[in-house]
């Protein structure tokens, strides 16, 4: 890396090295190339434009969709003494006017602003008199109608290229498939931009899937094993956030519920606790997360199947942004799947859109039922291949594959025999030869397959149904209220033309490996553990004083470096990755004293 850029990295941000992919983006921006950078969450996208913004002569405008995101970014930059500000509708008029004056004068170099504010005629006309050299569009997937998160106010941004022909136009996002990428550069730059795609792999994330039986106990065991660490639990409904948060609290875990139905101040309070305190479990709907850049979230749990692989990947991507180990757990059951399909069917959009959404859900189901490395399955979706991760439940505990043709045939015959009009519950009870009014009335006890599967449990047959669904041998027909039906391949299995190999179904799929805490980030030596605790307390005190999230002072990673290296003086402290001159000046003495203090 060029030594002057390296020096600037240390001087402004305190980092000793670029992360993978950052330097390329920085160099391209400095050589005035338009670009779209697709980089996974936690890759360090912000630095890719913040550093050039400091090095360019002119000003930088960062378009960001969320006020919370702007506030956090600006607070972070200001904590480094970098000249950043924001203009948004929640700030009062005088503050905004003052920021604007300082931006025009050049005192402020980086301005964060919402798209609707930026794209007013008044703002654009005023900006023509300011030397804006760089535009940054954050969360750029919002500009594309192809993406899952289109925002109408982003549409207007396509006007920037004509209005500011000399400025460099850049866009950043963590999620964009090929069509979306092309759409972004077409709209924003008239296809005059370089596209950089940085690998999707997040090696520090472990992946696991668990079934939804006794799921609260599973969740509790998982959280228990990670007590004292920050985590997010995603649930599907508002009500569920409340009940799960209460359940965790009752069991001795600091937890807060968060959903769109709460009062704004209540949400803010919960978020503040999560951001500043250690070991808070955030139980939230997906309304929570976008714009949360807390780097030390150690786990993400889903208690329901998410809407798509993209959504899932983005949500788990919020864990472990600091690069330290973090765990994910997806808990799902057949009911969730039917619920999701129903949400798609009842949702907006034309048939083509619904078809795409259903396909997305299929891919996620395939992930859930994967019999080999889950990381591989996930990355394959993003057109990336890699060897087995060695770090997911399937790698740690490879499922045994067995010939399930006979059992599959019993199930398929029952589905067909009952007219393809019933859901899993009824089909399984026919297979197991149970008696009920429904079975008697419809004379399903006269079917040849009735009772043929009595030797296996309900769970066994449900697991087999999930596997057949994931493999595309049967499907859920919503027009028949969630009835199971055969696909042509299912028919072939039934006819004996092809076989069905499946994961061996054991009475209770093991979750031990899942529950063990891999992501505990600490030290073996009790002296080191105490030092880390002391540094964290100091950090929390400072954060409270400044009314800022703890990581704005120093990230966990930096604290761990301090414990490992035990710097004795300012020079040694400055040498640590993550400590720059500003931080040294503000907090150096306090942390050195804490490190020195004998235990």
- Does 184 help bind Zn ion (rule: CB under 5 A)? no
- Does 43 help bind ligand ADP (rule: CB under 6 A)? yes
**Among ligand ADP, Zn ion, none, what does residue 47 contact (CB within 5–8 Å per kind)?**
ligand ADP
Q: Which is nearer to ligand ADP, 21 or 509 (CB)?
A: 21
DSSP class per residue in 64-83: -S-HHHHHHHHHHHHHTT--
Contact 496, 408 (CB under 8 A): no
- Closest by CA to 231, choosing from 309, 368, 329, is 329
Bridge partners of residue 317, in order along the sequence: none
Q: Kindly state the smallest distance separating residue 322's Cβ from ligand ADP, in Å.
A: 6
- Does 375 help bind Zn ion (rule: CB under 5 A)? yes
The alpha carbon torsion through 170, 176, 179, 183 (nearest 10 deg) reads -30
The binding track of 46-85 with respect to ligand ADP, each residue x by CB under 6 A or -, is xx--------------------------------------
The binding track of 519-558 with respect to ligand ADP, each residue x by CB under 6 A or -, is ------------------------------------x---
Considering only 113, 127, 188, 395, the residue that binds Zn ion (CB under 5 A) is 395
The binding track of 286-325 with respect to ligand ADP, each residue x by CB under 6 A or -, is -------x-x-------------------------xx---
**Among ligand ADP, Zn ion, none, what does residue 375 contact (CB within 5–8 Å per kind)?**
Zn ion
Ordered alpha helix ranges (H), 454-525: 458-470, 488-495, 512-515
Antiparallel, parallel or unpaired: β 483-486 and 474-477: antiparallel
What is the three-class DSSP state of 373?
Answer: coil
CA gap 497, 449 in Å, rounded: 19
Provide long-range contacts, Cβ within 8 A and 24+ apart, for 41-46: 41/174, 41/202, 41/314, 41/317, 41/318, 41/321, 42/202, 42/295, 42/317, 42/320, 42/321, 42/322, 42/323, 43/19, 43/174, 43/198, 44/19, 45/138, 45/172, 45/174, 46/73, 46/293
Q: Kindly state the smallest distance separating residue 576's Cβ from ligand ADP, in Å.
A: 11
- Closest by CA to 425, choosing from 466, 449, 458, 453, is 458
Q: Kindly state the smallest distance separating residue 269's Cβ from ligand ADP, in Å.
A: 23
- Does 44 help bind ligand ADP (rule: CB under 6 A)? yes
Q: Which is nearer to ligand ADP, 229 or 248 (CB)?
A: 229
Q: Which one of 43-51, 61-69, 115-123, 256-264 is the stretch in contact with ligand ADP (CB under 6 A)? A: 43-51
Q: Which one of 13-21, 245-253, 399-407, 588-596 is the stretch in contact with ligand ADP (CB under 6 A)? A: 13-21
Q: How many helices (H) and strands (E) does the chain have?
A: 29, 18
- Closest by CA to 17, choosing from 27, 26, 28, 6, is 6
> Could you report how far apart the first and last alpha carbons of the chain are, in Å?
41
- Does 513 help bind ligand ADP (rule: CB under 6 A)? no
Site size for ligand ADP (CB under 6 A): 18
- Does 45 help bind ligand ADP (rule: CB under 6 A)? yes
- Does 39 help bind ligand ADP (rule: CB under 6 A)? yes
Here the tokens at position 383 are 């057109």
Q: Kindly state the smallest distance separating residue 391's Cβ from Zn ion, in Å.
A: 6
Considering only 25, 28, 38, 41, the residue that binds ligand ADP (CB under 6 A) is 41
State the residues that interact with Zn ion by CB under 5 A: 373, 375, 389, 392, 395
State the residues that interact with ligand ADP by CB under 6 A: 15, 17-19, 22, 39, 41-47, 293, 295, 321-322, 555
């Amino acid at each position: 890396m060029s030594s002057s850029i390296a020096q600037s990295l240390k001087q402004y941000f305190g980092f000793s090295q670029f992360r993978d992919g950052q330097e390329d983006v920085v160099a391209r921006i400095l050589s005035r190339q338009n670009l779209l950078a697709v980089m996974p969450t936690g890759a360090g996208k912000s630095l890719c434009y913040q550093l050039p913004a400091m090095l360019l002569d002119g000003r930088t405008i960062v378009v960001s969709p969320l006020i919370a995101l702007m506030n956090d970014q600006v607070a972070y930059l200001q904590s480094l003494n970098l000249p950043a500000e924001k203009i948004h509708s929640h700030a009062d008029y005088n503050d905004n006017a003052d920021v604007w004056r300082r931006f025009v004068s050049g005192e402020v170099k980086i301005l964060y602003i919402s798209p609707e504010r930026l794209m007013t005629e008044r703002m654009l006309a005023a900006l023509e008199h300011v030397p804006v050299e760089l535009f940054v569009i954050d969360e750029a997937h919002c500009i594309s109608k192809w993406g899952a998160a289109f925002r109408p106010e982003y549409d207007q941004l396509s006007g920037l290229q004509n209005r500011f022909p000399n400025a460099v136009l850049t866009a950043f996002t963590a999620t964009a498939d090929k069509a979306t990428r092309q759409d972004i550069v077409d709209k924003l730059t008239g296809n005059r931009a370089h596209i950089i795609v940085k690998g999707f792999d997040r090696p520090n994330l472990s992946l696991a899937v668990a079934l939804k039986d006794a799921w609260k106990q599973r969740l509790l065991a998982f959280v228990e094993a990670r007590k004292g660490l920050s985590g997010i639990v995603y649930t599907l409904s508002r009500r569920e956030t409340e009940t799960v948060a209460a359940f965790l609290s009752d069991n001795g875990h600091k937890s807060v519920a968060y959903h769109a139905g709460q009062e704004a101040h209540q949400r803010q309070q919960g978020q503040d606790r999560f951001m500043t305190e250690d070991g808070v479990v955030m139980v939230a709907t997906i309304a929570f997360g976008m714009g949360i850049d807390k780097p030390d979230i150690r786990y993400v749990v889903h208690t329901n199947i998410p809407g798509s692989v993209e959504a899932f990947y983005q949500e788990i991507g919020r864990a472990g942004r600091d690069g330290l180990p973090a765990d994910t757990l997806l808990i799902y059951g057949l009911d969730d799947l039917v619920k999701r399909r129903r949400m798609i069917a009842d949702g907006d959009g034309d048939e083509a859109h619904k078809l795409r959404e259903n396909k997305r859900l299929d891919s996620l189901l395939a992930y859930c039922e994967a019999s080999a490395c889950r990381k591989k399955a996930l990355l394959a979706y993003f057109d990336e291949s890699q060897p087995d991760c060695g770090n997911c439940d399937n790698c740690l505990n490879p499922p045994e594959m067995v010939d399930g043709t006979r059992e599959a045939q019993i199930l398929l015959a029952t589905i067909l025999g009952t007219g393809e009009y019933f859901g899993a519950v009824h089909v399984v009870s026919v297979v197991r030869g149970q008696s009920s009014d429904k079975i008697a009335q419809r004379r399903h006890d006269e079917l040849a397959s009735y009772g043929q599967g009595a030797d296996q449990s309900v769970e066994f047959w449900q697991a087999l149904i999930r596997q057949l669904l994931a493999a595309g041998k049967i499907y859920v027909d919503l027009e028949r209220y969630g009835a199971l039906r055969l696909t042509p391949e299912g028919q072939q299995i039934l006819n004996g033309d092809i076989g069905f190999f499946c994961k061996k179904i054991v009475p209770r799929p093991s979750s031990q490996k899942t529950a063990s805490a891999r992501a505990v980030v600490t030290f073996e030596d009790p002296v080191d553990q105490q030092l880390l605790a002391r540094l964290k307390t100091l950090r929390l005190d400072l954060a409270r004083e400044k009314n800022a999230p703890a990581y704005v002072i120093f990230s966990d990673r930096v604290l761990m470096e301090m414990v490992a290296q035990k710097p004795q003086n300012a020079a040694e402290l400055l040498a640590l990755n993550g400590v720059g001159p500003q931080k040294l000046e503000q907090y150096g003495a306090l942390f050195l004293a804490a490190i020195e203090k004998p235990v």
